[in-house]
């Protein structure tokens, strides 16, 4: 949610943001409803003043005049009740519209309608193509099935399409990458949290997943709750409805959670293997900082570096992409994806997403801090980024490190979590 005052004062800027993000929202309607709300507020305040004055007059009026004055006062009270009802209706209408208004992207963000306009920032490592192996290169599912570490068939039997079971060394490898990420984040002064993955709908609205992405979420409608698609939701909402001291900031958190995604609209897309699945585990990093664009940009670079350092420890080639306006989503000011090389795809595949929101989420969550200089409350800025998500990261890990005999070499950084094993065979 963005500041309503900004919409009033710069409607054309907000309209441009909606166009650049390919979002349909009627800003003129927002302003019209806001105008009705403000008119009702003005009338309400005027009538309350008249009510107070009339009450004083009745107290001092002669007996014969009291009846007429009381009648007028009754009319005022009736109208105040009508305005109360109308205000509630208009407030609800305005809030519903404001929930659709996009955050204004950073002027430096690339403008474009979709992912084809994303901009490559840098590449790290040398991609290994199928022809470089000197033997017939297998994809991760062929490798995992032959090694007995991935069982898609029984995953589907248990839970339907886009489900899987990791077995033996596959489950160990999954845990190993998450534990490596946990250790890295702990060493960088980020505080670990264990958080619920079933949250109140208010947090889904607060972090910007509702109303626009409701179809992508597993809903527990009877309880008014939802399964999260990322720990971003409970971690960002952790300080909702609080006023923090500026001295407490920044808040640096990370959390491991199981993530659930319906993948609505992904029918027929990436159906093979572990790329697009209904549940996975992820370690997410979240920053809550003061309302300063330069401070936000500094932490954005820091959380991207955390993810890059982890990929370099795993010796995986990757590239960093800046996401264009039409692909970044509603609440983001600026966004970067990290894509890791996947030989079976002969391409990079997205494995990380790093976003900064400025005060978009904080306004929805009522997440504020008290400025040290003025003592006044101000909305925080929020950011988040994937540290690691598995089992998607197992795709490049298995494929890049495969050997001619069908075994897979375990990267040195993970061996301490694998009982010292050097290969999966």
Q: Mean per-residue pLDDT for 322-349?
A: 98
Residue 276 known to be catalytic: yes
Looking at the chain, the whole-number percentage of residues with pLDDT higher than 90 is 92
pLDDT surpassing 80 at residue 197: yes
What are 71-93's pLDDT values in tens digits? 888 899 999 999 999 999 999 99
Instruction: Give residue 70's pLDDT.
Output: 83
Residue from 353, 355, 356, 364 carrying the catalytic annotation: 353
Task: Quickly count: other Cβ atoms within 10 Å of residue 134's Cβ.
Answer: 7
Active-site hit among 232, 363, 392, 399: 392
Instruction: Indicate the range of 12-26, 40-54, 408-422 predicted with least confidence.
Output: 40-54
pLDDT surpassing 90 at residue 383:
yes
The whole-number pLDDT of residue 80 equals 95
Question: pLDDT tens digits, residue range 384-409?
Answer: 999 999 999 999 999 999 999 999 99
Residue 350 annotated among the catalytic residues of the structure = yes
Q: In percent, how much of the chain has pLDDT > 70?
A: 100
pLDDT confidence of residue 63 = 75
* Single pTM value for the model: 0.94
Q: Tell whether the model's pLDDT for residue 306 goes beyond 90.
A: yes
Work out the average pLDDT over 256-283. 91
Q: What is the mean pLDDT of the chain?
A: 96
Q: Please report which confidence band the pLDDT of residue 246 belongs to, taking 50, 70 and 90 as the band edges.
A: very high
Checking if the pLDDT of 369 tops 80, the result is: yes
Average pLDDT, stretch 414-420?
A: 98
pLDDT at 266 exceeding the cut of 80: no
> Taking 80 as the threshold, does the pLDDT of residue 104 lie above it?
yes
Picking from 332, 329, 353, the residue whose alpha carbon sits closest to that of residue 22 is 329
List 93, 175, 350, 378, catalytic entry: 350
Catalytic-role residue among 37, 256, 261, 368: 261
State residue 58's pLDDT score: 80
Predicted confidence band of residue 66 (pLDDT cuts 50, 70, 90): confident
Q: DSSP letters along 232-269, please?
A: HHHHHGGGTT-EEEGGGPPEEEEEEEEEE---TT-TTS
**Residues 276, 345, 370, 415: which is the catalytic one?**
276
The C-alpha angle 70, 55, 81, rounded to 5 degrees, equals 70
- Phi and psi at residue 214, to the nearest 5°: -60, -35
At 53, is the pLDDT very low, low, confident or very high (cuts 50, 70, 90)? confident
pLDDT at 90: 98
- Find all residues with CB under 8 Å of 118, minimum gap 6, and list them: 110, 112, 321, 322, 323, 324, 327, 337
Using one digit for the tens of pLDDT, what is the confidence trace for 113-168?
A: 999 999 999 999 999 999 999 999 999 999 999 999 999 999 999 999 999 999 99
Q: How confident is the model at residue 345 (pLDDT cuts 50, 70, 90)?
A: very high
C-alpha distances (whole Å) from 265 to each of 115, 139, 324 are 16, 25, 21
Q: Evaluate whether 230 touches 199 at the Cβ level (below 8 Å).
A: no
215 labelled catalytic:
no
The mean pLDDT value for 335-360 works out to 98
């Amino acid at each position: 949610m963005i500041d309503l005052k900004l919409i009033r004062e710069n409607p054309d800027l907000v309209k441009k943001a909606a166009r650049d993000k390919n979002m349909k929202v009627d800003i003129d309607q927002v302003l019209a409803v806001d105008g009705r709300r403000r008119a009702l507020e003005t009338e309400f305040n005027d009538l309350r003043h008249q009510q107070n004055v009339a009450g004083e007059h009745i107290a001092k009026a002669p007996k014969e005049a009291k009846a007429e004055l009381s009648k007028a006062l009754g009319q005022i009270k009736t109208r105040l009740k009508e305005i109360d009802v109308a205000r509630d209706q208009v407030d609800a209408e305005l809030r519903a519209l404001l929930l659709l208004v996009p955050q204004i992207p950073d002027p430096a963000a690339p403008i474009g309608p979709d992912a084809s306009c994303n901009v490559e920032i840098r590449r790290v490592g040398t991609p290994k193509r199928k022809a470089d192996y000197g033997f017939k290169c297998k994809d991760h599912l062929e490798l995992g099935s032959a090694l007995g570490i991935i069982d898609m068939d029984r995953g589907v039997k248990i839970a339907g399409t886009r489900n899987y079971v990791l077995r033996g060394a596959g489950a160990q490898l999954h845990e190993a990458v998450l534990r490596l990420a946990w250790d890295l984040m702990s060493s960088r002064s980020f505080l670990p949290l264990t958080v619920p993955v079933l949250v109140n709908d208010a947090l889904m609205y607060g972090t910007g997943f509702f109303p626009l992405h409701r179809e992508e979420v597993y809903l527990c409608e009877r309880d008014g709750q939802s399964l999260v698609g990322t720990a971003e939701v409970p971690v960002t909402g952790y300080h909702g409805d609080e006023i923090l001291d500026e001295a407490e900031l920044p808040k640096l958190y990370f959390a491991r959670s199981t993530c659930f995604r319906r993948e609505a609209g992904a029918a027929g897309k990436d159906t093979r293997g572990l790329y697009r699945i209904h549940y996975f585990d992820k370690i997410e990093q979240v920053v809550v900082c003061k309302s300063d664009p330069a401070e936000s940009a500094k932490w954005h670079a820091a959380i991207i570096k955390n993810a890059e350092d982890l990929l370099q420890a795993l010796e995986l080639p990757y590239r960093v992409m800046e996401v264009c306006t039409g692909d970044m989503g509603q609440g983001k000011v600026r966004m970067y994806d990290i894509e890791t090389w996947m030989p079976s795809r002969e391409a990079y595949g997205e494995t990380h997403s790093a976003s900064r929101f400025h005060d978009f989420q904080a306004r929805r969550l009522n997440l504020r801090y008290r400025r040290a200089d003025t003592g006044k409350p101000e909305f925080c800025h929020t950011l988040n980024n994937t540290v690691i998500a598995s089992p998607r990261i197992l795709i490049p890990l298995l494929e890049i490190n495969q050997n001619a005999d069908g075994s897979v070499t375990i990267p040195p950084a993970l061996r301490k979590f694998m009982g010292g094993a050097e290969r999966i065979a």
